[in-house]
Amino acid sequence: MIPLSWYVMLSAGLFTIGVVGVLSRRNIFIILMSIELMLNAANINLVAFAHYLQSLTGHIFVIFVITVAAAEAAVALAIIILLARNRGSVYVDEFNLMKG
Amino acid sequence: MINKAIFIYFAAVILLSAVLVITRKNPIHSVLFMLLLFFHIAGVFVVLNAEFLAAVQLIVYAGAILILYLFVVMLLNVETESKASRANRYWPWAAGFGLLVAAEIALLVARGTFPLDTAQPMRLGASGVKELGIVLYTRYLVPFEIASIILLVGLVGAVMLAKKRSSE
């Protein structure tokens, strides 16, 4: 039987990789994908704890997380298309219109 | 024993492909490594007896969200990608911070004990589609309806944002 702490370690590692991706990359696609990485890390944690607590609540919440991720991806990609059309760039450090 | 070996394989591929996702220069390569990652996360779900979630992971994440990403990446320019630098100027700080946090979490999890480690895991078949559906449509009915509204907002919002303004 796999100990629960292994799942927690895996999900913490995946979450940290996602955080580093959000903080360090310039391309807005990679930043969005890093957010998906973090959501998936949370999903692994939810399913693992649901498995060991013998409760289905974790599974239900994973379904909701996937729903929100789908809606978020659709809206965010629409915003990226608008940004690329209006500003001609997908690099976040070139969007400095409001910088004083 | 075989369970642990399978889990270690899935975890290793997940972490490796996650690192590759955030380090590749070409966004299309990142998307393809993300596909590999989603398949292995579905494998972890199968190890945890969550077959329905594994199927949803493959159908919704790999089948819908990732294809959307791939379309938009291909729609926008990728030819300037090879010249531009991939990370912002603060990336050593971010990487160092990430290593620090990962080491801290690993240390804490390794030193602590989980009472659930000795708990009885969910029995086989307790997390099937039927049981999940019963819980989803009775106890979690209101969140389920709210999720449908979120999807509707996402649908309308994406169409409204991305359509061309014809009058201006």
Lowest mean per-residue pLDDT among A90-94, B8-12, B112-116, B149-153: B112-116
**B103-111 mean pLDDT:** 86
Q: Which residues does chain A have with pLDDT short of 50?
A: none
How is chain B split into domains, by residue range?
1-83, 125-168
The whole-angstrom separation of Cα B132 and Cα B98 is 36
- Kindly give, in sequence order, each residue whose CB lies less than 8 Å from that of residue B133, ignoring residues fewer than 6 positions away: none
- Search chain B and give the residue with CA nearest A51: B122
- Within 10 A of B5 (CB to CB), how many other CB atoms are there? 9
Mean pLDDT computed over B138-161: 92
Which pLDDT does position B167 carry in this prediction? Answer: 60
B12 at the A interface (CB within 8 A)? no
8 A C-beta contact, residue A38 and residue B101: no
In angstroms, the CA B24 to CA B31 distance is 10
Q: What is the pLDDT of residue A88?
A: 79
- For residue B132, give every residue at least 6 positions away whose Cβ sits within 8 Å of its Cβ, in sequence order, or none: A56, A59, A60, B52
Q: How confident is the model at residue B166 (pLDDT cuts 50, 70, 90)?
A: low
- Contacts of residue B59, defined as CB under 8 A and 6 or more positions apart, other chains included, come to none
| A20, A50, A93 member nearest B95 (Cβ) | A20
Contacts of A31 (CB under 8 A, 6+ apart): A21, A22, A25, A92
Selected from 1.10.600.10, 3.40.630.30, 1.20.120.1200, 1.10.10.2160, the CATH number assigned to the domain covering B1-83 reads 1.20.120.1200
pTM of the model: 0.89
Nearest chain A CA: its distance from B43 CA (Å): 11
